[in-house]
């Protein structure tokens, strides 16, 4: 399976290429980037052909699929052109900045028949997979409240917060809630299905670098569950990443995001544990507590390559990518209007 890269704007692609270099059933062959200096340097680093023209990359017959890791506002443009060139698509999150652009991508994938997957790393993480299994078997009974955090300290980093970084540009990326809360929104969608409504607070609380820096949304799901999504781009340290409370027990995940993965763990720390009704102790699972956050990102390429080879389904479908964007946009709308927003949300005319 021969892979191409459309833009090195999103740094996750570097981890993908590091891992793919060791695969016997896939290889990266060429890349294009609208930033020629960045693109040439990355191609030299990974032994890829540098392709100066976007159309030239899509015309290559030795490329089966492409990673699209360009700024989010260009995802639809690049995905539609890649699909019509017959290239399978592995798309970095979030899918797009509008539902209309999501629909353009979905239509192109449907019309051309190319394979498509979002690159959501939470769906490849063994601890998250175990939590999904526990929920499927109703290990804690009827779920009432789920809290999930996905946080980073990036807006406190002068290198990240520099002028010109596309991540903090409202035109290219809308806001940090759109960019980073997308991970946790997809996690909720994967675990509990699509929500029916949301209330939210999203704002600049301690910085003015990007359009927003902290946010909390409360989603309601089909069976009444409340899902609390906490996203911060100014958080320095944390521990419990996920809490799942049911009438038959409790599940706690620790050290599952960046701000909780980079600090020393206390003796006896566990990454995942469950309390079951009728017992008198926590039951830990055998997952290492010291997994670096980067390992979750490095876990993405294997299932994607297996998908391209027909061995499994996608990490997340185009339709799921759209629903995740709708969850994020709905939270923005709820925060702006100061009231509950119900799904589906209305698209701007």
What does each of the 349 residues of the chain score in pLDDT, given as a tens digit? 999 999 999 999 999 999 999 999 999 999 999 999 999 999 999 999 999 999 999 999 999 999 999 999 999 999 999 999 999 999 999 999 999 999 999 999 999 999 999 999 999 999 999 999 999 999 999 999 999 999 999 999 999 999 999 999 999 999 999 999 999 999 999 999 999 999 999 999 999 999 999 999 999 999 999 999 999 999 999 999 999 999 999 999 999 999 999 889 999 899 999 999 999 999 999 999 999 999 999 999 999 999 999 999 999 999 999 999 999 999 999 999 999 999 999 876 5
- Within the chain, which residue ranges are assigned CATH 3.40.50.720? 2-114
Strand order, beta sheet including 65-68 = 49-50, 27-32, 2-6, 65-68, 88-91, 116-118
C-alpha to C-alpha distance for 119 and 139, rounded to whole angstroms:
28
Q: Which CATH architecture has domain 122-291+326-337?
A: 2-Layer Sandwich (3.30)
CATH code for residues 2-114: 3.40.50.720
Q: Exposed e or buried b for every residue in 297-319, given b needs 16+ CB within 10 A? A: bbbbbbbbbebbeeeeebbbebe
Let me know if 72 is exposed, middle or buried by CB neighbors in 10 A (0-12, 13-18, 19+).
buried
- Within the chain, which residue ranges are assigned CATH 3.30.360.10? 122-291+326-337
At residue 70, the pLDDT reads: 98
Indicate the pTM of the whole model.
0.97
3-state helix, strand, coil in the chain (%, to 5): 40, 25, 40
Six token digits for residue 253? 């995940």
Q: Exposed e or buried b for every residue in 145-166, given b needs 16+ CB within 10 A? A: ebbbbbbbbbbbeeebbeeebb
Contact 58, 82 (CB under 8 A): yes
- Collect all residues with Cβ–Cβ distance below 8 Å to 24 and sequence separation of at least 6: none
């Amino acid at each position: 399976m021969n892979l191409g890269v459309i833009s090195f704007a999103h740094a996750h692609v570097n981890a993908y290429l590091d891992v793919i270099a060791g695969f016997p059933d896939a290889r990266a062959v060429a890349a294009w980037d609208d930033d020629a200096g960045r693109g040439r340097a990355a191609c030299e680093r990974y032994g890829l052909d540098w392709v100066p023209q976007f159309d030239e990359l899509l015309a290559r017959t030795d490329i089966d699929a492409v990673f699209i890791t360009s700024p989010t506002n260009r995802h639809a443009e690049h995905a539609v052109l890649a699909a019509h060139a017959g290239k399978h698509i592995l798309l970095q999150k979030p899918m797009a900045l509008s539902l209309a652009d999501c629909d353009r991508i979905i239509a192109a994938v449907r019309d051309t028949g190319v394979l498509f997957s979002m690159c959501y790393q939470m769906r490849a993480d063994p601890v998250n997979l175990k939590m999904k299994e526990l929920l499927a078997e109703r290990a804690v009974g009827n779920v009432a409240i789920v809290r999930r955090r996905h946080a980073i300290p990036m807006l406190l980093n002068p290198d990240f917060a520099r002028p010109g970084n596309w991540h903090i540009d409202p035109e290219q990326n809308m806001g940090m809630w759109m960019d980073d809360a997308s991970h946790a929104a997809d996690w909720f969608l994967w675990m509990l299905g699509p929500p029916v409504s949301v209330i939210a607070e999203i704002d600049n609380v301690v910085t003015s670098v990007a359009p927003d820096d902290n946010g909390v949304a409360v989603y309601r799901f089909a069976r009444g569950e409340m899902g609390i999504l906490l996203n911060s781009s100014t958080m320095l340290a944390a521990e419990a990443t996920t809490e799942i409370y049911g009438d038959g027990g409790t599940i706690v995940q620790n050290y599952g995001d960046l701000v909780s993965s980079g600090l020393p763990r206390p003796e006896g720390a566990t990454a995942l544990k469950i309390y079951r009704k009728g017992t008198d102790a926590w039951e830990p699972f055998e997952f290492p507590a010291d997994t670096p956050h980067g390992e979750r990102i490095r876990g993405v390429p294997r299932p994607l390559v297996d998908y391209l080879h027909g061995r499994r389904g996608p990490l997340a479908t185009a339709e799921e990518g759209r629903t995740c964007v709708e969850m994020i946009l709905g939270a923005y709308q709820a925060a702006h209007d100061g009231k509950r927003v119900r799904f589906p949300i209305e698209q701007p005319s």
